[in-house]
């Protein structure tokens, strides 16, 4: 039987969701990803394009290009959720092996901790102002609230997405009007000078934002009924993530162009200051910033929890988790992310840009391999029980995927441009960073060439061995 509507606390972890427990429609992906992207870190990402030298006009266009391209890759991962009923990174075992999947997983966990930390810096400022307790206390309080929400799980996450989508959309409309009252839009967009390397930098910023969702996007579509159209899941996910992120990033680019140095290092206070200074409006805007960041930080914490369990279970062989274990994993992510946030809060903006571009180096090869395998080689035919058996169909280590992944990472290095490393081919390209394009194209082509005839492990149909439905009730997994 399907779970009761009152079952708020999630009962599943990395095990397959049985058809009897599936619920919802593809439209839920639109509301979740709209709400997840209407938030202050996306605003900062858009502002980075202007801060690093791109004019507002070309920033908006470049950010849109990156959001659409990266969002399309991300949405292709989302479409896997209803079909497999599994968290995203579990499916990587079909390509990398039951234990080999830990290689990209370790980097994914680093990503989650990093995004938790970066989100906590900005949200902590909002919570600190809202409670008058300061940034440090605000970061800690926000982290505790994030962990509690992640422990409740899937239903609360989607509820947060719906609420944040409405509340933050109204707030961004208001802030946009206030910004245009303060600045002349025509003047902001007047500079049409075009610099191709900087344009590509802005494209890379938004593309990396979207591609970084890839390792966990199916976690939030896996409860949809198996009959849900892949096209519908793809389309609603793409629409929500592109609309939400482009809205936020456009606002950030225009705000940075209008404010100049007043924006850098004071992102939260500047955005709140657009409200006009009334105490009630100021408090509401701080609340909106915290709510938007809560939604995405819960996604990061929940995704990190799933990835850590996936890593450990590849060696221990368990797909279920006790309540104490679930709490311990989530607490570990919270503590690590909070520590990074407290250590790096004073150099947030420049560090965040390098963090985004560095992450992209490791996630694009994984995305390419996963998508080529799912859509072109296995063609959605996976043996779900074998994903938990290192002695089964997929084995412990699949070296073709692991080798392709390593070569995909290495192939990007000559084209990578960050503060701490610049590849030798960046200067000949005028400073343009095209590493993410290399990281998609080369691993996709190489994996296709290596794996397209190696299909002995591909079943002739999807094989599902579902566990019985778990007991119903709000405390079923406690």
DSSP state of 417: B
pLDDT score at 118: 77
**Residue 317's pLDDT is what?**
59
234-283 tens-digit pLDDT: 999 999 999 999 999 999 999 988 887 777 667 778 888 887 777 888 88
At 122-137, the pLDDT tens digits run: 778 778 878 888 888 8
- Most confident of the ranges 170-184, 399-413, 460-474: 399-413
| pLDDT (0 to 100) of residue 205 | 86
pLDDT at position 3 is 44
Distance of CA 395 to the CA centre of its chain: 29
When pLDDT is cut at 50, 70 and 90, the band that residue 156 belongs to is confident
- Look at residue 346 in the predicted model and tell me its pLDDT: 63
CB 16 within 8 A of CB 82: no
Domain 27-356 = CATH 1.10.4160.10: yes
CA-closest candidate to residue 361, choices 404, 428, 410, 402? 410
Over its C-alpha atoms, the chain yields an Rg (Å, rounded) of: 22
With bands split at pLDDT 50, 70 and 90, how would you rate the model's confidence at 15? confident
Mapped onto helix, strand or coil, the DSSP state of residue 383 is strand
Which of the residue ranges 106-120, 315-329, 347-361 has the most confident prediction, judged by mean pLDDT? 106-120
User: Looking at residue 242, what is its pLDDT?
Assistant: 97
* pLDDT confidence of residue 416: 84
* pTM for this prediction: 0.86
Q: Can you give the pLDDT at residue 253?
A: 93
86 burial type by CB count under 10 A (0-12 exposed, 13-18 middle, 19+ buried) = buried
Provide the pLDDT for residue 67: 97
Tokens (6 digits) for 167: 């509340």
Q: Where are the domains of the chain?
A: 27-356
Q: Are 306 and 216 in contact (CB under 8 A)?
A: yes
Residue-level pLDDT at 444: 96
CA distance 332 to 324: 12
**What percent of the chain lies above the pLDDT cut of 90?**
31
* pLDDT, tens only, 67-113: 999 999 999 999 999 999 888 888 888 999 988 888 888 888 887 88
- Which pLDDT score is estimated for 53? 86
Task: List the single range of 42-51, 55-64, 300-309 with lowest mean pLDDT.
Answer: 300-309
Lowest mean pLDDT among 38-52, 214-228, 295-309: 295-309
Residue 154 has pLDDT above 60, yes or no: yes
pLDDT of residue 477: 34
Determine the average pLDDT of the residues in 293-313.
82
Q: Is pLDDT larger for residue 339 or for residue 327?
A: 339
The answer to whether 382 and 84 are in contact (CB under 8 A) is yes
Is residue 406's pLDDT more than 50?
yes
3-state secondary structure of 463: strand
Q: What's the confidence (pLDDT) of residue 109?
A: 83
Tell whether the model's pLDDT for residue 335 goes beyond 90: no
What is the structure's pLDDT at 11? Answer: 66
* Of the candidates 213, 261, 204, 244, the residue with the CA atom closest to the CA atom of residue 59: 204
User: How would residue 2 be classed by pLDDT, with cut points 50, 70 and 90?
Assistant: very low
> What dihedral do alpha carbons 287, 288, 294, 300 form, nearest 10°?
-150
Give 170 or 344, the one with higher predicted confidence: 170
Residues 6+ apart with CB under 8 A from 207: 66, 67, 69, 70, 360, 436
Alpha-carbon gap, residue 69 to 38, rounded angstroms: 19
């Amino acid at each position: 039987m399907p779970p009761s509507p009152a079952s708020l606390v999630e009962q599943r972890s990395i095990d397959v969701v049985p058809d009897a427990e599936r619920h919802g429609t593809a439209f839920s992906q639109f509301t979740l990803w709209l709400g997840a992207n209407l938030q202050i870190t996306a605003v900062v990402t858009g502002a980075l394009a202007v801060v690093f030298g791109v004019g507002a006009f070309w920033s908006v266009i470049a950010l849109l290009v990156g959001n659409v391209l990266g969002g399309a890759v991300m949405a292709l991962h989302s479409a896997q959720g209803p079909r497999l009923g599994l968290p995203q990174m579990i499916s990587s075992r079909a390509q990398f092996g039951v234990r080999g999947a830990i290689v990209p997983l370790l980097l994914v966990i680093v990503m989650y901790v990093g995004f938790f930390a970066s989100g906590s810096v900005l949200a902590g400022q909002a919570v600190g102002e809202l409670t008058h307790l300061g940034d440090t206390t605000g970061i800690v309080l926000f982290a505790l609230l994030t962990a509690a929400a992640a422990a409740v799980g899937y239903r609360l996450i989607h509820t947060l997405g719906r609420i944040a989508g409405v509340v933050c959309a109204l707030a961004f409309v208001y802030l946009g009007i206030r910004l245009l009252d303060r600045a002349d839009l025509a003047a902001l967009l007047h500079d049409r000078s075009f610099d191709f390397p900087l344009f590509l930098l802005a494209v890379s910023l938004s593309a990396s934002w979207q591609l970084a969702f890839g390792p966990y996007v199916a976690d939030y579509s896996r409860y949809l009924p198996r009959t849900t159209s892949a096209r519908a899941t793809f389309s609603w996910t793409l629409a929500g993530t592109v609309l939400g992120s482009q809205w936020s990033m456009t606002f950030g680019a225009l705000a940075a162009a209008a404010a100049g140095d007043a924006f850098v290092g004071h992102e939260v206070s500047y955005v709140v200051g657009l409200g006009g200074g009334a105490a009630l409006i100021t408090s509401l805007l701080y609340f909106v910033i915290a709510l938007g960041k809560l939604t995405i930080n819960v996604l990061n914490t929940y995704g990190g929890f799933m990835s850590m369990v996936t890593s450990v279970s590849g060696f221990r062989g368990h797909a279920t988790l006790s309540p104490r274990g679930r709490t311990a994993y989530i607490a570990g992510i919270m503590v690590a992310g909070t520590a990074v946030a407290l250590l790096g809060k004073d150099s947030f903006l420049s560090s965040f840009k390098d963090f985004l571009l560095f992450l992209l180096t490791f996630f694009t090869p994984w995305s390419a391999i996963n998508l080529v395998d799912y859509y072109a080689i296995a063609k959605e035919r996976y043996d779900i029980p074998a994903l938990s058996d290192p002695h089964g169909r997929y084995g412990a280590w699949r070296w073709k995927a692991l080798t392709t992944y390593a070569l995909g990472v290495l192939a990007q290095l000559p084209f990578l441009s960050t503060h701490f490393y610049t590849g030798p081919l960046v200067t000949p390209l005028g400073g343009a960073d095209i590493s993410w394009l290399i990281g998609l194209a080369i691993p996709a082509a190489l994996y296709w060439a290596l794996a397209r005839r190696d299909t002995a492990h591909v079943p002739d149909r999807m094989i599902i061995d579902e566990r019985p439905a778990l007991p119903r009730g709000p405390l079923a997994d406690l």
